[in-house]
C-alpha cells in the first residue's frame, strides 16, 4: 500500500471520520512541516503512555486515580455505573451528582457477541463486595437501548446480594418536550418510571 493510502486508512478508523474527511486529514499531514508532524507523533505516543484506567472506577486517568476518584468529598457509598467514559463526562457536566462512578467500557450484547466477562462487570462486583456493605446505592446509568437494558438486568442480579438499593436512571419525557410528539416506547418508559410528587 502506498504511504498516502496507508494514512487515509488509519484516519478512516477514527470514530465519525468518513472517506472525504480522512483524505483531508492525510493531505494536511502531507502539507504540514516536519516539526508539526513530529509533535503529532510525540503527542500520540505521550497520550498512549500516560492514559490508563483508574484503579477504582476504570475511567481514564493519568495517575492511579482519575480526577473524580481523587476528589475529596465525593460520596463513595454512591456509585453510578455508566457504559463509557464519555457518559461519565456528560453526567459530570450536569454538576448534580456527588457520588463516584464505575465505567463498564461497553454493554452486554448477544447480537454483537459481547459477553458480561468482556466488560468491567466483575470488577464492579468485586469493588462492591470488597467495600463490605459500605456501598449504599448503585445507580445503573447504562443506555436505554436493548444492550443497556440487558446490562442493567445482569448487573441488578449480580449486585443484589451486596447492595441495599439498586436504581436505574429515569428515562422519558425530556424537559421542554411535548407529550403529543413522543414515541410510544419513550412514553411507556416515562409512565413506568413515574415518581411521587
Report the interface residues with Zn ion, using CB under 5 A. 54, 56-57, 59, 66, 69
Q: What does the alpha-carbon distance between residue 94 and residue 96 come to, in Å, rounded to a whole number?
A: 6
Q: What does the alpha-carbon distance between residue 193 and residue 196 come to, in Å, rounded to a whole number?
A: 10
Closest separation in Å from C-beta 56 to Zn ion = 4
Closest separation in Å from C-beta 47 to Zn ion = 18
Q: Phi, psi (5° rounding) for residue 15?
A: -60, 135
* Closer residue to Zn ion (CB): 11 or 58: 58
* Closer residue to Zn ion (CB): 102 or 168: 102
Closest separation in Å from C-beta 61 to Zn ion = 6
* Closer residue to Zn ion (CB): 57 or 128: 57
Closest separation in Å from C-beta 146 to Zn ion = 28
Contact (Cβ atoms closer than 8 angstroms) between residue 155 and residue 140: yes
Selection from 195, 124, 132, 117 nearest residue 156 by Cα: 124
Which helix (DSSP H) or strand (DSSP E) does residue 80 occupy? strand 75-82
* Closer residue to Zn ion (CB): 11 or 101: 101
Q: Match 458480561 to its residue by C-alpha cell.
A: 116
Q: Which ranges in the chain belong to alpha helices (H)?
A: 3-12, 19-31, 34-50, 85-94, 121-130, 146-159, 184-192
Closest separation in Å from C-beta 89 to Zn ion = 12
Amino acid at each position: 500500500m502506498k504511504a498516502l493510502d496507508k494514512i487515509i486508512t488509519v484516519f478512516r478508523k477514527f470514530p465519525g471520520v468518513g472517506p472525504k474527511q480522512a483524505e483531508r486529514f492525510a493531505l494536511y499531514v502531507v502539507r504540514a512541516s516536519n516539526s508539526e508532524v513530529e509533535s503529532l507523533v510525540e503527542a500520540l505516543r505521550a497520550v498512549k503512555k500516560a492514559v490508563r484506567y483508574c484503579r477504582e472506577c476504570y475511567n481514564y486517568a493519568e495517575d492511579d486515580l482519575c480526577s473524580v476518584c481523587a476528589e475529596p468529598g465525593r460520596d463513595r457509598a454512591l456509585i453510578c455505573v455508566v457504559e463509557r467514559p464519555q457518559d461519565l463526562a456528560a453526567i459530570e457536566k450536569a454538576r448534580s451528582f456527588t457520588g463516584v462512578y464505575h465505567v463498564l467500557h461497553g454493554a452486554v450484547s448477544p447480537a454483537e457477541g459481547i459477553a458480561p466477562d468482556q466488560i468491567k462487570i466483575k470488577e464492579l462486583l468485586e469493588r462492591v463486595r470488597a467495600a463490605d456493605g459500605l456501598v449504599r446505592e448503585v445507580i445503573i446509568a447504562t443506555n436505554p437501548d436493548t444492550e443497556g437494558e440487558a446490562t442493567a438486568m445482569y448487573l441488578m442480579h449480580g449486585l443484589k446480594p451486596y447492595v441495599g438499593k439498586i436504581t436505574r436512571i429515569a428515562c422519558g419525557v425530556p424537559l421542554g418536550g411535548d407529550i403529543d410528539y413522543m414515541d410510544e416506547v419513550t412514553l411507556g418508559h416515562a409512565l413506568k418510571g413515574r415518581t411521587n410528587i
